[in-house]
Structure 1
């Protein structure tokens, strides 16, 4: 029974799907520790270059070089632990300095302090988040007062939180300091190393995701005034169309087409960014709920701070995105109305053209009847001439008759014969026009009709 699964048809992605749930395990973080977290925007080529750069670090430190690139790579080099994660838009590095640290200034030593000189400066990618994290052990020693913490954040206004129902104390400012890094100070009160790792993961994700969320804000601010101008332009076009017949429809249609092209260009440039903003905002809300914060007296919690500062920016991006979609739909409706008016104008022109063609056809028919009358007279004249030659030949052969009388008698006979032949031809073409049959097919139908009449 143990080997029965091997005889079944296994989905080729089954192992990958199992491994995906364990691709980014939480870290185990001791107390105290000094950590530096970096998030870099990269393309696919830069992701490959980063893995080569990570291989170079192994060579510099004298460790075995990894050959297989994974979504999450973690390695400990003595007192240095490195964690590298690949995401859709960015990659993240977590450098953990496990060496003993001084409690005098938690940020005097960082996670990157033990990196080889020059390696970090050559890291491919664009830095979007950079954060120094200092973790202190407060399970035995008392934590400092808020006024003692403030100098370590360069006297910036602090955001304080007691996550996990008070098992830890977190201080941050959500600002960049003089070294170009943000700072996060964590005091571990009653948390295990695994719990501390999960807390750290949530906090650095909040820091990274909030910055990725705000990437759409400059785009929204640049786009909003242009959408306002196009909204006014569309209102003017709609008003012009409402004035019956007073608008230059070709000029308005050209203007609408240009506007629709601009809107599609804006959608192509902003749709992914606005969609990513909503996704990152949802992740931040989820991480904030997982913190289970208690308030620190006199300070905003992380949830309160981000709710007041971040969510309005998210709503701004969402509002601009919805406004762009609404403008696109309105342009489509006005374009449909314009196309309807153009089609109606074309149909009116076609009716006038058909009416004119009908009048010309009637005139041509009257002219044709006149010409046909003249044609009957002309054909009859020539036929009478031929008959006259025939009569003279007969008279010369000895047949006795009055040539003048015979010629006079033949004139009405010839006229009648020519007129009947002309009518028969007209009748034949009228029947052909009423059907979709060719001339040969029409003859065949008539032949079958005659055969049927003879049988009966």
Structure 2
């Protein structure tokens, strides 16, 4: 069989980011780092330090997703389009420790996370508690773990687990999530934890466009007012300073294209991340915990308006670009009409000059006929004298007198014939065009 060269890659793509298998209890830390291609290469070199600390084999190929299992410590690294995520899972939990006293970063060498190349967008700890045999934490204990911040809680997967979150930064600079496992297997727990981590990561990535949308909003108002003024000037009956108006339109179009270059990708990414968040929320299949908002209710109430603000700013920017194009078209039409009128005036002037030149040409033609006839008659006079001297009995004066009207008529007819010949040539050229 003739195998397509991408066939194996197409099969591998579905398995490139497998779900994690996480036992309970466990402590997980998830970090999303916004980075460039150079910083991604630097991160790969930065990982070499951990390989020596935990005795993991050095991974030479730069895959989109790979995971190291170093016993009680696991490291998972995923590369996305514009960011990289690190998931650190710590299974070495001291007996009786509080939910966030030990985290996924506890086994790491000191200073390793702080020197990670890139800009951290999301960083939060996940405390996975086992309530299959022991009682689950009560609400006051959960509140203490979240430093008494307002909680969002739900019971996903048909009540097989309880999830608590605050979606705020805590005193250690990290966010916090708590998953209480009631009846879930390790693979189910891994899928739930990954969905929760993706929801928080994609939520923050989607909100990156919100400050840009707020910063561009005053500029959009200013440009909209200025464009309205220019349109009124163009539609007015008075005179318009067309060069100044065109310069304003060019400056405005340049500003709009500059903003579009800065915002188009970011707004498009926000839309994509928001769609991923909604998909992950649907997969949770949440039930409400009495007295608390569910994660879906919290996200749709807080995240969706922010995303719509970004979408509205993008739509206003595109609308301004379209309106500037329309005003520019109106301006070009006005200039073309002005040029057309100037051309009409120029053609009329040229027509008047052509008629004057034609009258002058007729005058010159008459003088030319007289001049040519005069010289031809002079030549004929010499001929008559030569013939008379040769002994031919002719009256030189009479012959010269008779030659005058004949020569004059001949020269006039020849001139008119040449004139008509050029007129016919001009008519044929116009017909061809």
Give the RMSD, CA atoms, in angstroms. Answer: 1.4
Contact 2:55 2:70 in 1 (8 A): no
- Offset of residue 197 of structure 1: 0.3
Q: Which moved more, 1:188-197 or 1:299-308?
A: 299-308
Residue 220 of structure 1 is aligned with which of 197, 213, 224? 213
Helix, strand or coil: the match of 2:29? Answer: strand
How does the TM-score come out when normalised to structure 2?
Answer: 0.97
Equivalence for 1:63:
56
Separation in 2, partners of 1:64, 1:257: 59
Helix, strand or coil: the match of 2:291? Answer: coil
Residue 209, structure 1, aligned to residue 202, structure 2 = yes
Q: Structure 1: give runs of 5+ residues left out of the alignment.
A: 1-7, 438-456
Helix, strand or coil: the match of 1:15? Answer: helix
Residue 328, structure 1, aligned to residue 315, structure 2 = no
- Residues 166-222 of structure 1 deviation map (CA, whole Å, 9 limit, x = unaligned): 111111111111111001111111111111000000100011001000000011001
Separation in 2, partners of 1:125, 1:436: 73
Equivalence for 2:235:
242
How does the TM-score come out when normalised to structure 1?
Answer: 0.92
- Offset of residue 104 of structure 1: 4.3
Equivalence for 2:153:
160
Separation in 2, partners of 1:97, 1:139: 20
Residue 181 of structure 1 is aligned with which of 174, 182, 203? 174
Equivalence for 2:425:
432
Separation in 2, partners of 1:105, 1:289: 31
Equivalence for 1:344:
337
Residue 409 of structure 2 is aligned with which of 416, 429, 441? 416
Residue 96 of structure 1 is aligned with which of 89, 96, 99? 89
Separation in 1, partners of 2:97, 2:57: 37
Count of residues in correspondence between the two structures: 430
Separation in 2, partners of 1:63, 1:157: 40
1:265-284 to 2 correspondences below 5 Å = 265-284=258-277
Equivalence for 1:83:
76
Q: Structure 2: give runs of 5+ residues left out of the alignment.
A: none
Equivalence for 1:263:
256
Equivalence for 1:443:
none
Equivalence for 1:448:
none
Separation in 1, partners of 2:429, 2:353: 24
- Residues 266-299 of structure 1 deviation map (CA, whole Å, 9 limit, x = unaligned): 1111000000000000010111111111111111
Separation in 1, partners of 2:388, 2:414: 29
Residue 301, structure 1, aligned to residue 272, structure 2 = no
Separation in 2, partners of 1:297, 1:323: 41
Q: Which moved more, 1:385-394 or 1:371-380?
A: 385-394
Separation in 2, partners of 1:307, 1:423: 93
